[in-house]
Structure 1
Amino acid sequence: MLLIDRYILKMAALAAIVILIGLTSVIWVTQALREVDLITGKGQTVFIFFTVTLLSLPALIAGIAPVALFMSTLYTLNKLNGDSELIVMNAAGIAPHRLTRPFVMLTIATSLLVGYMSISVMPAGFRALRDLITLIRADFVANVVKEGQFVSLDSGVTFHYREKQGDALLGIFMQDRRDPAQPAVYIAERGRTVDADGNSFLLLEKGTIQRETKDKDRDTTSIISFERYALNLSALSGDATGGDGEGNGDKVVYKPRERTTWALINQDPNEGYYKIQAGRFRAELHNRLSAPLYPIAFMLVAFAVLGEARTTRQGRNAAIQTAILTVGAVRIGAYAAWTASVRSPFAVVLLYVLPAATIAIALLLIFYGNRLRPFLARLLAPLLAPFNGLTARLRRA
């Protein structure tokens, strides 16, 4: 590696790390504040609080790393041009596209990081978070909920017990309305929480389950009596899965984002939950596989607009605005494609086409920019006019 490559790589990598840490920290703090209820309302320790909030970091890093790379590329190229270093490099015979080498090395590292986080670490973190929340809920039911209180355990789940006798809860009532089409009510004389096979169960004794099925024609209600019923508290996290009605409890069903990538690829098509949520499984898998393409696209967009040396008379504001708008449009388009792919298999293609098309256009600008930039400048001038006017007014102010 040449000295100039090491110089640029060091500057860009340092900027990317600082931006990544800064943005991740700010967003992580805002999310952590939403979990303060773990301590104040659910009686958990500070260690549990930090564990829950830190398990979301892989998802934050996977989403922020491409943006950090884009911002670091803009910063590095703008600094090199402001210090006239790009002009000196061009005068020395270094072609603009030759300067992409250190940025490509940084981009490869970022793509590998995003891919590793999205494909491996992020689903493992969500799965661990699901299991931890289950344990917190079990502890909350057994030790924190007060006698006679009606407490919301999850969205649509209400829990109540009359009194506590030793480790047993007497007069249990639980209402599950997570699925509006099939609400259920659990009533038991007594119950207690137990741990088995890494899961927490609410073991109910002598009670009934009342399930109501609502459809367009009529509503039907079924009542099941039981002597013992093991309700898996993991089933109260997220989507309602229903029980088997035989006293075996609710089966733990992990959401698509909580499953490993290998499990999504080799998904059993006969699984009941998969039949209901097949679109989410498809969207989650392809969203993970396409994630490493976005750092490449974002870096090339930044280099395409700022890679060439410019004098102080040649403004760079329009170029920076174009890069930001382009990256923002690609991000919004990717989110829209991910949402649409839940409903339509054809929309999955957009998750790959968007970054691939951005990469192709950016490469054309890098290698044939002298021919294409005048045409693009005329095309984008109406879109950038409001931003240029705002910048001028801010300068005058």
Structure 2
Amino acid sequence: MGSIDRYIFRTTLASFALVLVSLTGVIWITQALRGIDLMTSQGQTILTFLGITSLVIPALVLIISPIALMISISHTLNKLATDSEIIVMNAAGLSPIRLFRPFLYATCVVAALVAFIAAYLAPDGLRRIKQWDAEITADVLTNVLQPGRFAQLDQNLTIRIRERQPGGLLKGIFIDDRRDPKERVSIVADHGTVVKNEGGSFLILEDGNLERFEAGKRDPALVAFGRYGFDMSKFNKGHDVTLGIRERYLWELLAPEESDQTYQQLQGQFRAELHDRFMSPIYPFAFAALTFAFLGAPRTTRQSRNFSMGGAILAVFGLRMAGFACSVLTVKSPLAAVIQYLMLAGAIGISFWIIIGGVVIEPPAGLIEAINRSNERILRLFGRPAAA
């Protein structure tokens, strides 16, 4: 790799990293704000909150990476054009296809990253989120007991807590237990914590009073306690996790078990997800080739690049939207996946034909004249003389 190649390669990857981190950070923040109740209503720490919400980042990077690559290539080409470096390289005998080489190297790096995320990292993060969510949902102490509300855990068992504090501390606990027809137990405790061990889940109450009403007796028995354990194990459901299609690794999609009920019911969605994983590392090549085809040709500083930039954005956007549509159709028809492969191959092939031929994509002359006439009418409307 020559000095020019290293310069363009470093500039492209540096821009890609900056755009990727920026876009992913913005979208991650919007997603993370939805789970802010982890620290409030469920008594989780900030580290737990950040750890759980960060598991979705690989799935975001998988979608954002091709777009970030397109933006970074556009930025690098505009920088080279603004400094007239593309003109100088072309005059020195550097062909457009030769100039595309360092961009191709950068695209290979991005495609390798996307392939690894699609095959392993993104599904691994999503399945960890699902497993954690299943544990939270199965645990009645964190899912049902909400501050300030009476929770009916059983037909004859009611629990209320006043508030949750950091570290899982529960304040102002009230329990009304009427499950035993021979007696009724009411418990009031200042605070308590949840303890889980091999024996089950227990609500450890501290500094409270226990009032027991036994059938046939006039006066209740009142006991003050410093520490009391209330068994909650029977209210915790099992949390077997059924993995969805997006939570499966690539090899699990390639060879699913015939006895898998999810596969038996959703074979079309398995097929669509598998092809999406295969095509994920192809999209960076398609986006890079399309962007360079529109912006990579040498132009003078007097030639506007706005049309080329708009054309590159529309081409990339149209290709991705068509890919999403094909992914949806692949669920019912395998032919849609073939069309998507052909569409990507066609986009890459046409782009390379434009690059090799040195074709400059510019708007038709009639369109330019129409835009100029429209601008003149607008300027006259506002009383300003049109530029010569």
> TM-score, normalising length from structure 1?
0.70
Report the alpha carbon displacement of residue 273 of structure 1 after superposing the two structures with TM: 2.2
Report the alpha carbon displacement of residue 132 of structure 1 after superposing the two structures with TM: 1.3
Task: Give the corresponding residue for 2:238.
Answer: 232
Give the number of aligned pairs: 314
Q: What code does the residue aligned with 2:244 have?
A: K
| Matches of 1:63 and 1:380, distance apart in 2 | 38
Q: What is the 5 A alignment of 1:1-397? A: 1-139=1-139, 141=141, 145-146=145-146, 160-161=153-154, 162-163=157-158, 231-234=237-240, 252-370=241-359, 373=361, 377-378=363-364
Report the alpha carbon displacement of residue 8 of structure 1 after superposing the two structures with TM: 1.1
User: SS of the counterpart of 1:55?
Assistant: helix
Q: CA 1:101/1:147 → structure 2, altered by over 3 Å: closer, same or farther?
A: closer
Report the alpha carbon displacement of residue 373 of structure 1 after superposing the two structures with TM: 4.1
8 A contact 1:142–1:193 mirrored in 2: no
Report the alpha carbon displacement of residue 170 of structure 1 after superposing the two structures with TM: 7.2
8 A contact 2:110–2:284 mirrored in 1: yes
Q: CA RMSD in A?
A: 3.6
Report the alpha carbon displacement of residue 339 of structure 1 after superposing the two structures with TM: 1.4
Structure 2 gap ranges (5+): 161-172, 180-193, 202-233
Q: What code does the residue aligned with 1:268 have?
A: E
| Matches of 2:366 and 2:197, distance apart in 1 | 62
User: SS of the counterpart of 1:257?
Assistant: coil
Q: CA 1:90/1:128 → structure 2, altered by over 3 Å: closer, same or farther?
A: same
8 A contact 1:43–1:144 mirrored in 2: no
8 A contact 1:150–1:160 mirrored in 2: no
Report the alpha carbon displacement of residue 171 of structure 1 after superposing the two structures with TM: 9.1
Q: CA 1:348/1:229 → structure 2, altered by over 3 Å: closer, same or farther?
A: farther
- String of CA shifts for 1:109-132, please: whole Å, max 9, x gaps: 000000000111111111111111
Structure 1 gap ranges (5+): 152-158, 173-191, 201-227, 235-251
8 A contact 1:55–1:126 mirrored in 2: yes
| Matches of 2:366 and 2:358, distance apart in 1 | 15
8 A contact 2:90–2:298 mirrored in 1: yes
Report the alpha carbon displacement of residue 232 of structure 1 after superposing the two structures with TM: 2.9
Percent identical: 37
Report the alpha carbon displacement of residue 19 of structure 1 after superposing the two structures with TM: 0.7
| Matches of 1:385 and 1:320, distance apart in 2 | 17
User: SS of the counterpart of 2:120?
Assistant: helix
8 A contact 1:112–1:292 mirrored in 2: yes
| Matches of 1:34 and 1:230, distance apart in 2 | 25
Q: What code does the residue aligned with 1:333 have?
A: A
| Matches of 2:366 and 2:275, distance apart in 1 | 32
| Matches of 2:345 and 2:102, distance apart in 1 | 21
| Matches of 1:256 and 1:282, distance apart in 2 | 10
Q: CA 1:380/1:98 → structure 2, altered by over 3 Å: closer, same or farther?
A: farther
Give the greater-gyration-radius structure (CA).
2
Report the alpha carbon displacement of residue 13 of structure 1 after superposing the two structures with TM: 1.3
